């Protein structure tokens, strides 16, 4: 039963490598969100999905970031050619539908060396 599941919980990578972060939302939740939280900072919106489409990609910081969602379920956030400033906790949340309360996963701590 399940809540929102994210994997991996921790990822250490070298600068320049690509990383893929995964989010499994609560079953039946149609909306899925990605946020980034740097140490000691607030939540920064990245992207959200309604079903499999992403109406709002405005928060993606650069073209190195991309995300997709398939089967109205799992989503992956991909960061290409990682930089040290990408180091943060990446949080995924889902909601029953858009504008409903969000339920968060425990996040992926990304460290770029």
Q: Going by C-beta distance under 8 Å and a sequence separation of 6 or more, which residues neighbour residue 29?
A: 94, 95, 96, 97, 103
Q: For 88, list phi and psi in degrees, rounded to 5.
A: 180, 175
**Minimum distance from CB of 111 to other proteins (Å)?**
14
51 binds other proteins (CB under 8 A): no
Stretch that binds other proteins, among 8-16, 19-27, 38-46, 78-86 (CB under 8 A): 38-46
8 binds other proteins (CB under 8 A): no
Tell me whether residue 20 or residue 56 sits nearer to other proteins (CB atom). Answer: 56
91 binds other proteins (CB under 8 A): yes
- The bridge status of strand 75-79 relative to strand 88-95 is unpaired
27 binds other proteins (CB under 8 A): no
5 binds other proteins (CB under 8 A): no
Angle at 108 between CA 61 and CA 38, to 5 degrees: 50
104 binds other proteins (CB under 8 A): yes
Residues that bind other proteins (CB under 8 A): 33, 35, 41-43, 45, 48, 55-56, 58-59, 91, 99-107
């Amino acid at each position: 039963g399940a809540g929102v599941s994210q994997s991996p919980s921790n990822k250490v990578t070298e600068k320049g490598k690509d990383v893929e972060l995964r989010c499994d939302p609560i079953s039946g939740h149609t909306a899925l969100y990605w946020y980034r939280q740097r140490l000691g900072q607030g939540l920064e919106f990245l992207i959200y999905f309604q079903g499999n489409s992403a109406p709002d990609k405005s928060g993606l910081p650069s073209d190195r970031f991309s995300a997709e969602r398939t089967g109205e379920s799992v989503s992956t956030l991909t960061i290409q050619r990682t930089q040290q400033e990408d180091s943060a906790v990446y949080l995924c949340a889902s909601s029953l539908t858009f504008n409903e309360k969000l339920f968060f996963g425990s996040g992926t701590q990304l460290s770029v060396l």
